[in-house]
A and B are shown apart, each in its own frame.
Chain A
């Protein structure tokens, strides 16, 4: 008889893990898979946002008018302002000679600009400042402002 034979005859008690097995499995699943799932959704959203930002930045650099168009979608007033900025004076003449670079208008100019498509409709007895607008979709559109206090009829282009 040896110690080996003795050890081989040792009776082990029931070593059943009981509810611990289920409890540990639940904890491991919660720790490794639910957390990973949440992290996965967060990283996916972050990646998608970064991708969209990259595409938009690239488009804005390549074609800045896209950014301008998007701006107009959210700010309609900016469309009109942009058109006035694009006014081209065909003949600056006397008017520009009176206009200061600081942007102050001559005293004689009081009226608001209004849109006219046909200049023949204007009153021949009045003086006007006519600004030709080069819009993107429209052409040969004129913005007209009457020069009040001008005795001699005169049209400035």
Chain B
């Protein structure tokens, strides 16, 4: 399987169970990580990731290698499904209500609580969906602008402007004293 061209594997994945398994093992972790960071809730993440892979397998025949990488194609489906999820469920997030993820072991120390994802997520989730997408992909998924461009189907220059505006909005949402505290700790 290792020596096979990934393009061929992806094309075979719709009919060949072993090819599908290779694709799944390779891309599931990154898609799951992205979704759970975005929604910060395990049950919602599992529901969305399930839908992403069901749709991906259904539409894999329509995937074209000429346009975007396969991973970007999966991310696009995930981004779309997260948007659908919030629209359908009309989620209302309470600021300050930190969502605990079941069976999750926090790695951050108590004194660094302001640097935990749960803390910053309460502010990120108040941003528009497109801003959440850019910030998540850029800072938590560590994607390049080129990769984000493939995923969100936007020009890199546009993305840089959008990211700048999204960061300004986020900064305005976080209380000044909290920002001052975290800036002091980082520096």
Taking beta carbons and an 8 Å cutoff, which residues of A are in contact with B? 1-15, 17-18, 20-21, 24-25, 27-29, 31-33, 36
Contact = CB atoms under 8 A, between A and B. Distances in A.
Q: Is the interface of A mostly helix, strand, loop or mixed?
A: helix
A10 B20 contact: no
B18 to A, nearest CB: 10
Contacts of A12: 37, 107, 117, 140
Most B C-beta atoms less than 10 A away, residue of A3, A8, A18, A25:
A3
Contact of A18 (B103, B107, B171): B103
Given A8-B139, A11-B107, A29-B20, A1 B183 contact: yes
Contacts of A5: 183, 186
Contacts of A17: 28-29, 32, 36, 46, 49
B139 A31 contact: no
B54 A28 contact: yes
B37 A4 contact: no
A53 B100 CA distance: 64
Contact of B120 (A4, A10, A20): A10
B21 interface: yes
A13 B107 contact: yes
Contact of B33 (A3, A8, A9, A15): A15
A10 B20 CA distance: 34
A36 B15 contact: yes
B103 A28 contact: no
A15 B37 contact: yes
Interface in B5-33: 14-15, 17, 20-21, 24, 28-29, 32-33
Contact of A25 (B21, B117, B139): B21
21 contacts: A1-B187, A5-B186, A6-B183, A8-B139, A9-B115, A10-B115, A11-B107, A11-B116, A11-B117, A12-B117, A13-B105, A14-B104, A14-B105, A15-B104, A17-B29, A25-B24, A27-B50, A28-B54, A29-B17, A29-B20, A32-B57
Contacts of A9: 115, 186
